[in-house]
Chain A
Amino acid sequence: DQQVKQNSPSLSVQEGRISILNCDYTNSMFDYFLWYKKYPAEGPTFLISISSIKDKNEDGRFTVFLNKSAKHLSLHIVPSQPGDSAVYFCAASGGNQFYFGTGTSLTVIP
């Protein structure tokens, strides 16, 4: 049973525009949500997180929004850069486990 879902396997965006990556979850008990960026054959790199008691967290070009009523979070990247091209995983923390989405492959076109 997939508790964290990323329904868009891929996304292409022009350089300089906004990239919006989406994630849905089913378990209302999750208390932290995270985004990781991953290049092929490398470990995931932490990008940004948000506590379930907040609805927005911003770090430079990256902003995560959390809508608890919809059980939905999104990652906004503005402006998008070619170096942002990677696979992005959404994750949720509950108890002592982390649950990962299936990832969205972002391509930023120069």
Chain B
Amino acid sequence: DTEVTQTPKHLVMGMTNKKSLKCEQHMGHRAMYWYKQKAKKPPELMFVYSYEKLSINESVPSRFSPECPNSSLLNLHLHALQPEDSALYLCASSQASAPTKLFFGSGTQLSVL
């Protein structure tokens, strides 16, 4: 199994809503990532979890709250988002030590109204 599964595939939310994005992998990877990608731009790193602990937070606003309940799951909790947060949110995983490849999920296309 070399898949990273993300749900939902599409999400529309208002600026006062609370929602969560979910990500799951069963490759035994101990590093998991959240990226944000806008059209015609490279993926932009948001958070990295290594061995279920947050190791990198790229100065992301607190309206984005990551959570890693166990080694296979990664969540991103969303609250009070702005329209400019509309983007494709990508989850990825890799081996934790000296990773040589990132495996990406298919993403959640988020629209904030």
- Interface of A toward B, CB cutoff 8 Å: 31-32, 34, 36, 40-46, 49, 51, 87, 89, 91, 93, 96-98, 100-103, 105
* CB <8 Å contact, B107 and A41: yes
B36 → A minimal CB distance (Å): 12
Q: Is the CB of A44 within 8 A of B43?
A: yes
| Complex Cα–Cα for A91 and B94 (A) | 14
What B residues does A96 contact at CB under 8 A? 31, 48, 50, 55-56, 96-99
Q: When the two chains form the complex, which single residue of B88, B96, B100 contacts A32, counting CB atoms closer than 8 Å?
A: B100
Can you report 20 residue pairs joining A to B where beta carbons are below 8 Å apart?
A34-B101, A40-B39, A41-B107, A41-B109, A43-B4, A43-B88, A43-B104, A49-B101, A87-B40, A91-B102, A93-B100, A96-B55, A96-B97, A96-B98, A96-B99, A98-B45, A98-B99, A100-B43, A101-B42, A102-B42
- Return chain B residues, CB-CB under 8 Å to A41: 88, 107, 109
Q: Interface size class for chain B?
A: 20 to 34
Chain B positions 18 through 60: 1 when the CB is less than 8 Å from some CB of chain A, otherwise 0: 0000000000000100000001111101001010000110000
A-B contacts counted at CB < 8 A amount to 65
A34 to B104, CA, bound (A): 13
Q: How far is the CA of A96 from the CA of B98 in the complex (A)?
A: 6
| Residue from B42, B56, B103 in contact with A100 in the complex, judged by beta carbons closer than 8 Å | B42
Question: Once the chains bind, are B41 and A43 in contact (CB under 8 Å)?
Answer: no
Residues of B with Cβ closer than 8 Å to A?
A: 4, 6, 31, 39-43, 45, 48, 50, 55-56, 88, 90, 92, 94, 96-107, 109
Q: Which residues of B contact A101 (CB under 8 A)?
A: 42
Determine whether the beta carbon of A89 is less than 8 Å from that of B101: no
